[in-house]
Amino acid sequence: MPSANNRKLLVEICNAKKLMPKDGQGTSSPYVLVDFDGQRRRTKTKVRDLKPQWDEKLEFLVHDTEAMATETLEINVYNDKKTGNRSTFLGKVKLSGSTFVKTGLETLVYYPLEKRSVFSQIKGEIGLKICYVDEDPPVVFEAAATTMENSKAKEEKVEEEEKKEEEKPKDDEKPPENSKPEEEKPAAVAVVENPSIAQPDKSKVEKPIATQKRRDSGVNDLELQSLGNRSCCTYDLVERMPFLYVRVLKAKHPNVEAGTSIYAKLVIGTHSIRTKSVSDKDWDQKIVTSDVQAAEKQLTKLPIGLLEVGIRGATDLLPVKTKDGTRGTADAYVVAKYGPKWVRTRTTLDQFNPRWHEQYTWDVYDPCTVLTIGVFDNGRYKRDEAGKPGKDLRIGKLRIRLSTVDANG
């Protein structure tokens, strides 16, 4: 039972430090959402500020003072996007009600912002002052409580009357319910008679069962036939891919020393496969590869088309490093690879919306292949304390299957 006094929880959002820039321009516009016991409060938005100062006090009503220790106060920080998109997550803090102190004993405490998931990129901390205050309830609340009890009693009476009215038609409907089993008796007899007639021949028994399952599943015979014939299926996005099977049996070499191990290496175009090492010159190993291009140009088949890739730019990249210790930045470039050939664009410095406008082409011999595109941050423009350049970091990756790309001509 809740206690007689009226308790309020006071949460003062003071400030935050070292927030992650997530607006695509090296900064953020943070605001705070606070949830407690089914209540939500929101602070104002600090535009383009990684060290916001709010100094706002938010009040929450504690419905049950005895259960306050089991409640959880959740504080979420977001980047305000005023373009209509949903806000970007900047971090969260969860506090148990057992840590709350009485008013006058609160102090400013900085809590590190936590991640919402494993893939969240979060940093920084938020300063809070949390306390609670007890107030005596006014007499008006007692009158309100009596009126609430009276209204609840009236609602219970109305519900009882509605239940009685609902039970009346159920008694009238009892004869039809008894008549339903009588109508279903012939169907039950028919189900029992079918097995007795079909007992001499097993094939006749199985066919009605199969058709019954098909009717229940909603699939007719023609659809089952089309599903069973996968070779002529029109729903496949790609054509069949040819594979090359090579079986390595054994080797005959008289000069092999005893106790030494040998292996075989299969090279097809730019693809090479090595067998396991054995000492008895006997492998009996199967090798499968889908790269059937010959190394000699005279033996290669003609290309079936030309792949053209235009790398225009990227938008809303996340910062992967800081510049001058004040804001985030990224020096992005793109790497594209198709088959054995790969290309790289130039590096755009200090841009979250870089533009390259570069175009590349590849010869296509098989539509069942994949184009890989990756975006990286160039770490050579930032050196550590020892003067060594940093390592390149991957920002994102994309794989495109050529069979899903529209062809021109």
For residues 295 and 293, give the distance between their C-alpha atoms in angstroms, rounded to a whole number. 7
Residues 99-126 have pLDDT tens digits of 999 999 999 999 999 988 777 788 999 9
The most confident of 69-78, 243-252, 294-303, by mean pLDDT: 69-78
Examine the domain organization and report whether 186 and 113 are in the same domain: no
Residues 274-296 have pLDDT tens digits of 787 777 666 777 666 654 555 55
Examine the domain organization and report whether 370 and 393 are in the same domain: yes
Contact, 98 vs 69, CB < 8 A? yes
Hey, what are 35's tokens?
């949830």
* Predicted local confidence at residue 138, as pLDDT: 57
Examine the domain organization and report whether 195 and 224 are in the same domain: yes
Q: What is the CATH number of the domain that holds 45?
A: 2.60.40.150
Domain presence at residue 46? yes
CA 224 → CA 9, 39, 228, 234, 235, distances in Å? 65, 55, 6, 14, 15
Examine the domain organization and report whether 62 and 105 are in the same domain: yes
Domain termination residue (choose one: 101, 135, 169): 135
Instruction: Say whether pLDDT at 231 is over 50.
Output: no
Domain presence at residue 259? yes
Examine the domain organization and report whether 13 and 118 are in the same domain: yes
Domain presence at residue 122? yes
pLDDT band at 369 (very low <50, low <70, confident <90, very high): confident
CA 373 to chain CA mean position, Å: 21
Examine the domain organization and report whether 361 and 285 are in the same domain: no
Domain presence at residue 295? no
Domain presence at residue 81? yes
Q: What global pTM score does this model have? A: 0.37
Domain presence at residue 172? no
Number of domains in the chain: 4
Select the more confidently predicted residue: 218 or 312: 312
Examine the domain organization and report whether 11 and 130 are in the same domain: yes
Contact, 250 vs 275, CB < 8 A? no
Examine the domain organization and report whether 317 and 394 are in the same domain: yes
pLDDT band at 313 (very low <50, low <70, confident <90, very high): very high
**Average pLDDT across the chain, whole number:** 75
Residue type, 371: L
Examine the domain organization and report whether 199 and 273 are in the same domain: no
Domain presence at residue 151? no
For 12, phi then psi, to 5°, come to: -105, 115
Q: Domain of 194? A: 177-232
Question: Please, what sign has the CA dihedral across residues 292, 295, 297, 303?
Answer: positive
Domain presence at residue 228? yes
